[in-house]
């Protein structure tokens, strides 16, 4: 039977959605589904929590791809069974940033100076947006591996996901900004330039702060900014490559939500935001969807005690009301679906997924709404 959504058709699947909708579980399930088709799959989470690694049976840290034992996973195409593999990792932004500095630095001395800079050490682990850009860098690294057929990316919650997708452009704007140029200007050249009075005042405040505190903040900032000289071209090329990868035909953006009306509205807003940036969702997966209800006539004809029958009838009526509410939410979601995108349901399991077998079942049970 043809699957409702086959991740093995793509090179990259990006899972987006609000927090708490099971996006990490769906990401892991799609990765397992790709592996079961005989693909070599890497799945990466940007979420600092270890949920994806836990779902795949990998404890501890995994900042580099780690093999996931494929116990209990049936490979659908035996000729490709030897190629099938699944690796998982959780992004370590600082480690990735350090690796980029090593790659782009014009010399070993420049690399060591940058890695030892106080501003860089704080920036690499704390500045908002750096982790997003590092995820893009790691994604490009994984995508360059010709032995990998499919990459599944578990992104931050929807409130941060658009910033995540826009990270390359934002970081380049920061590096090319007037403020960075100002801070990188040596003192000797400062008064020869045509900087405005506000710029001079800003430099004067920083210099005064240094004299009072003895922290040499301005000097560290200048050293940090000048340390990027010669690296801008590399960052620009990688940012362009990341943007092209996200928009490539082999990339599928998948929005994950749940049937609650509030979550559906969040998904609608998120889809519209994606469309405004020129990105289009290939599929929307409604996780934890209700399964089909039993036939009321079968319940009425069942040979069970009357008291139990009345209780089951009340429960069935309650579930029918919830099902009707879910149907209205799905109708509202359909009206926001991009052209060509598929609306899929992932029925709720009767338990939290605890094994690869559970994840495989979630992937196999995806169905068209």
Question: Do the Cβ atoms of 41 and 88 come closer than 8 Å?
Answer: no
Beta bridge partners of 344: 285, 368
Fill in the DSSP letter of residue 330. Answer: H
From CA 207, how far away is CA 183, in angstroms rounded? 11
Which residues touch 131 (CB under 8 Å, ≥6 apart)?
46, 91, 93
Residues, the chain, total? 369
**Of residues 5, 4, 2, 7, the one with CA closest to residue 86:** 7
Query: Residue 27: is it exposed, middle or buried by C-beta count within 10 angstroms (0-12/13-18/19+)?
Result: buried
8 A C-beta contact, residue 63 and residue 89: yes
Q: What is the pLDDT of residue 347?
A: 92
User: In this structure, what are the phi and psi dihedrals at residue 322, rounded to the nearest 5 degrees?
Assistant: -65, -40
User: Could you tell me where the beta strands, DSSP code E, fall in the chain?
Assistant: 12-16, 40-45, 66-67, 85-90, 150-154, 251-257, 281-289, 342-347, 367-368
pLDDT for 58 equals 75
Q: What is the pLDDT of residue 193?
A: 43
The pairing of strands 66-67 and 85-90 is antiparallel
Asked if residues 254 and 285 have their Cβ atoms less than 8 Å apart, the reply is: yes
Distance between CA atoms of residues 224 and 334, nearest Å: 49
**What are the domain boundaries of the chain?**
7-174+250-299+326-368
Q: How many CA atoms lie within 13 A of 266 on its CB side?
A: 21
pLDDT per residue as tens, the chain (369 positions): 567 789 999 999 999 988 889 998 999 999 999 999 999 999 998 766 667 777 787 766 677 899 998 887 888 765 556 789 999 988 877 787 788 778 778 888 888 887 887 767 766 655 445 667 778 888 999 999 999 999 999 987 766 666 777 776 676 666 565 555 544 444 334 333 444 444 445 445 545 544 444 445 556 666 666 666 666 677 778 888 888 999 999 999 999 999 999 999 999 998 998 898 888 999 999 999 998 888 888 888 888 898 998 999 899 999 899 999 999 999 999 988 988 899 999 998 877 888 888 899 999 999 998
Within 10 angstroms of residue 143's Cβ, the number of other Cβ atoms is 19
**Cα–Cα distances in angstroms (integers) from residue 244 to residues 45, 137, 216, 224, 234, in the given order:** 20, 13, 41, 29, 15
Cα–Cα dist 330/268, whole Å: 11
pLDDT value at position 111? 82
* Per-residue pLDDT at 117: 79
Q: Which of 229, 235, 277, 228 is nearest to 253 (CA)?
A: 277
Query: What is the rounded distance in angstroms from the CA atom of residue 224 to the CA atom of residue 133?
Result: 18
Instruction: Tell me which CATH homologous superfamily contains domain 7-174+250-299+326-368.
Output: P-loop containing nucleotide triphosphate hydrolases (3.40.50.300)
């Amino acid at each position: 039977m043809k699957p409702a959504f086959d991740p093995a058709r793509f090179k990259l699947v990006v899972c987006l959605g609000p927090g708490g909708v099971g996006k990490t579980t769906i990401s892991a399930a799609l990765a397992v589904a790709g592996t079961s088709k005989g693909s070599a799959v890497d799945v990466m989470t940007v979420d600092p929590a270890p949920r994806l690694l836990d779902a795949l049976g990998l404890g501890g840290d995994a900042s580099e791809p780690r093999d996931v034992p494929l116990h209990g996973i049936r490979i659908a195409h035996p000729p490709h069974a030897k190629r099938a593999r699944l690796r998982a990792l959780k992004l370590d932004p600082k480690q990735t940033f350090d690796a980029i500095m090593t790659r782009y630095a014009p010399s070993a001395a420049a690399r060591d100076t940058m890695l030892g800079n106080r501003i860089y050490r704080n920036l690499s682990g704390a500045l908002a947006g750096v982790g997003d850009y590092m995820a893009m860098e790691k994604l490009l690294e994984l995508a360059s591996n010709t032995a990998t057929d499919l990459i599944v990316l578990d992104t931050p919650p929807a409130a941060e996901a658009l910033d995540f997708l826009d990270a390359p452009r934002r970081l380049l704007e920061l590096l090319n900004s007037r403020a960075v140029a100002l801070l990188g200007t040596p003192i000797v050249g400062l008064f020869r330039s045509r900087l405005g009075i506000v710029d001079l005042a800003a430099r004067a405040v920083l210099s005064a702060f240094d004299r009072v505190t003895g922290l040499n903040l301005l000097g560290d900032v200048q050293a940090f900014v000048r340390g990027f000289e010669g690296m801008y071209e590399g960052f620009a090329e990688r940012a362009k490559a990341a943007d092209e990868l996200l928009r490539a035909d082999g990339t599928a953006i998948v929005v994950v939500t749940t049937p609650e009306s509030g979550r559906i509205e969040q998904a609608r807003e998120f889809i519209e935001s994606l469309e405004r940036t020129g990105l289009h969702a290939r599929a929307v997966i409604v996780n934890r969807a209700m399964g089909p209800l039993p036939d009321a006539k079968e319940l009425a004809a069942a040979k069970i005690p009357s008291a139990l029958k009345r209780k089951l009838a009340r429960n069935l009526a309650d579930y029918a009301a919830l099902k009707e509410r879910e149907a209205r939410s799905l109708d509202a979601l359909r009206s926001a679906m991009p052209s060509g995108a598929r609306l899929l349901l992932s029925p709720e399991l009767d338990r939290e997924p605890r094994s690869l077998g559970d994840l495989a079942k979630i992937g196999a049970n995806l169905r068209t709404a």
